[in-house]
Amino acid sequence: MPLNLPVLSSSWPDRKASYDFLIVGSGYGGSIMAARLASAALPRKPSICILERGREWPIGDFPDKFEDFLDNVRAVNPLGLYDVIAGNDISILKGNGLGGTSLINANVAIVPEEGAFRQAGWPDSVNRGTLLPYYKKAAAVLRPNPFPAGKPLLKRLALEKRAQELGMQTELLDIVVTFDDTADNGCGVSQPACTLCGDCITGCNVGSKNTLYMNYLRLAHAGGAEIFTQTEVTWVEPKAGGGWLVHGVYRASRGQSEPFALEAENVILSAGSLNSTEILLRSAEHGLPVSPKLGTGFSGNGDFFGITYDGPAYLQTLGFGNRPDSPGAANPPGPTITVGLHYDRDPVVTNHYLVEDISFPSALMRGGQLAFPLMLGKDFGGDLAGKTERALLDLSQVSPYAQHGALNHSLIYLVTAFDNAQGRIELKTSICDPDGKPDVVWHGAGSEPIFAAINDALREHAMALSSRFIENPPWAALGLKGLITAHPLGGCPIGEGPGSGAVNEFGEVFANDGSLLKGLSVTDGALVPSALGVNPLLTISALSERIAEHRISELAQG
């Protein structure tokens, strides 16, 4: 049965005209800021409002069929959950709903190595050491833990086979998933144990995924923060005498919208790397005097993909969602990612990368069955008759969970690495969209040597499994070297001043003369000035916890 949790969002007509804190976005930065401000012991309790452009997704409502997934792509449905932004140099996948990308990420919550913070762009005051207390503080709420070692998954063998050849070892990664029935997760929510259904990246319909909807947003709501969904902020402007006027669009439905304006003493932009930057860029067009570094330092976190397709080994990779009677439940794939293989072959940290396993959620399973047979690739196996039979089983869809289906003999690899973070976010206008949409300009991004090295390593994984290797499709197609990332970072990079960053170490926005735009700040992945080499959710959370503590200390001192 679907988890029956109280709704968090309020009715739009119930909004106030003005707030002490207006937080744009409900991802890790926005949810943490709202939760900490709402629960802080302050001389005067501030009024807090969260504006989220997506809708609220109760547990049990997430798409689990391919046609429902397609109907919830934001390009065709502005309230859709899956925001896929196509670009010439790099494309981006992120979430659009109450809880942000936490609703559809792959759960991995790990701390980067020290060298990640020694790259250009990081101020001396922000490093692994200074952030460790805040990693722990965030982890206490998000509750990352490794997949239980006593529950072996066949898909792990896909990484272990190659690791053994290299004389290396895989490791179970910390993921924000609940593996035992929990009466109270510390935020007043009862969560059931993970059913190993494999649908993490399209939305957990069980309630065991520790999304922001299950923790920080519950704390914010309990502390009195008001939450409004389907409200997209477009730009902000300073009010005469202090404070801010926030402009946006409220969508009552996917086809009905109306403009709005709200006042706030403080505005915290937490709409994500792309959209927090977009709001500031559009605000600059209206006269806001921002730093010239705004829009710079964009990174895809070195994200890269590869597919080992239709090998002889049954890898148990197909999701079945909240359908315990499904044939897939007999052989559950487990959470989207459970294990990683670190390639640390060089003392230079930027040559390191992490290979992770990805299973197929039920909503995307049919898409993979149809698309993968048509993709070109290098075949490292000789069992042509067996492979033809497995592919035909998939295409017929007679039994999509059949052990002999091609997709159940396949695995997607996600790699996080270190790119040069030289992307630039710009507003791209058109006749259809004169206000512009954010676009990442990053010529030659996919031509960095690290990606060719990763591609070679993934090819070796496919060889180890006697599988067909399908290269990262946008990277390999026509030799265009395009990238796709699920971890967009930067755009409002932290720095010592407007000559080195768009914001300071606490997210406060620089004016172009070096002063701070009072009451305007950014708290999300846009702050991160480099790739991290690992999945970034815990680092974004740690930065946000540090900023929240700083802001509350300022308020307490008056």
Instruction: Report the candidate in 469, 198, 191 with the shortest Cα–Cα distance to residue 326.
Output: 198
Per-residue pLDDT at 398 exceeds 70: no
List beta partners, residue 55. 97
Q: Are residues 294 and 311 located together in one domain of the fold?
A: no
Predicted pLDDT of residue 347: 74
Whether residues 382 and 330 fall in one domain: yes
Q: Which letter does DSSP use for residue 318 in this model?
A: B
Report the C-alpha gap between 79 and 235 in whole angstroms: 19
pLDDT of 187 above 70: yes
The more confidently predicted of residues 396 and 49 is 49
Say whether both 501 and 532 belong to one domain. yes
> pLDDT-derived band of residue 384, with 50, 70 and 90 as boundaries?
low
Task: Assign 3-class secondary structure to 144-191.
Answer: CEECCCCCCCCCHHHHHHHHHHHCCCCEECEECECCCCECCCCCCCCE
Mean pLDDT of 185-212: 97
Query: How many Å from the N-terminal Cα to the C-terminal Cα in the chain?
Result: 48
pLDDT for 208: 97
The average confidence (pLDDT) of the chain is 94
Q: Please, which residues bridge with residue 91 across strands?
A: 484
202: Cβ–Cβ under 8 A, 6 or more apart, which residues? 62, 63, 64, 69, 82, 104, 319, 361, 362, 363, 364
CA–CA gap between residue 298 and residue 161 (Å, rounded): 35
- Residue 1 domain flag: no
Is 255 part of a structural domain of the chain?
yes
Task: Determine the Cα–Cα distance for residues 135 and 540; give it in Å rounded to an integer.
Answer: 9
User: Do 118 and 236 sit in the same domain of this protein?
Assistant: yes
Q: What is the pLDDT of residue 399?
A: 66
Q: What is the rounded CA–CA span in Å between residue 265 and residue 258?
A: 23
| Same domain, residue pair 279 and 236 | yes
Cβ neighbours for 167, distance < 8 A, ≥ 6 positions apart: none
CA 100 to chain centre: 8
- The answer to whether residue 356 scores a pLDDT higher than 50 is yes
Whether residue 348 sits in one domain with residue 269: no
Contact predicate 337/173, CB 8 Å: yes
Residue spans of alpha helices (H) in 397-483: 449-464, 473-476
Q: Quick one: 465 and 337 in the same domain? A: yes
Residues 300-330 pLDDT 10s = 999 999 999 998 899 999 999 988 888 889 8
At a CB cut-off of 8 Å and minimum separation 6, what does 374 contact?
Answer: none
At residue 344, the pLDDT reads 82
129 and 80 in a single domain? The answer is yes
In this prediction, residue 189 has a pLDDT band, given cuts at 50, 70 and 90, of very high
User: What's the half-sphere exposure (Cβ side, CA atoms, 13 Å) at 294?
Assistant: 27
Which pLDDT does position 1 carry in this prediction? 44
On whether residue 208 sits in a domain, the answer given is: no
- Of 96 and 377, which is predicted with more confidence? 96
CA distance 136 to 120: 25
Helices (H), 27-127: 28-39, 66-71
Q: Pseudo-torsion of CA 456, 461, 466, 470, nearest 10°?
A: -60
Over residues 364-393, the mean pLDDT reads: 79
431 and 545, same structural domain?
Answer: yes
The total number of structural domains in the chain stands at: 2
Query: Is 349 a member of any domain?
Result: yes
- Both 193 and 259 in a single domain? no
Inside any domain, residue 3: no
Residue 34 resides in a domain: yes
Distance CA 431, CA 443 (A): 24
Structural domain for 179, as ranges: 148-201+304-416+445-480
The pLDDT of residue 379: 85
> Which is more confidently placed, 431 or 20?
20
Per-residue exposure over 329-341, b if at least 16 CB sit within 10 Å of its own CB, e if not: eebbbbbbbbbbb
Quick one: how far is CA 114 from the chain centroid?
22
State CA 422 to chain mean position distance: 20
What secondary structure letter does DSSP report for 193?
P
Which range among 246-255, 365-374, 439-448, 524-533 shows the weakest confidence by mean pLDDT? 365-374
C-alpha 156/C-alpha 339 separation (Å) is 7
Instruction: Give the model's confidence band at 397: pLDDT under 50 very low, under 70 low, under 90 confident, else very high.
Output: low
The residue from 433, 453, 480 where one domain ends is: 480
Paired residues of 253 in beta bridges: 256
The string of pLDDT tens digits covering residues 98-107 is: 999 999 999 9
Which of 148, 199, 213 has its CA nearest to residue 9? Answer: 213
115 and 76 together in one domain: yes
Task: Kindly state whether residues 449 and 437 are assigned to the same domain.
Answer: no
Measure the CA–CA gap between 373 and 25, rounded to whole angstroms: 39
Q: How, if at all, do strands 516-522 and 256-269 pair?
A: parallel
**Would residue 47 count as lying in a domain?**
yes
Q: Range with the lowest mean pLDDT among 126-135, 237-246, 280-289, 368-377? A: 368-377
Decide if 506 is inside a domain: yes
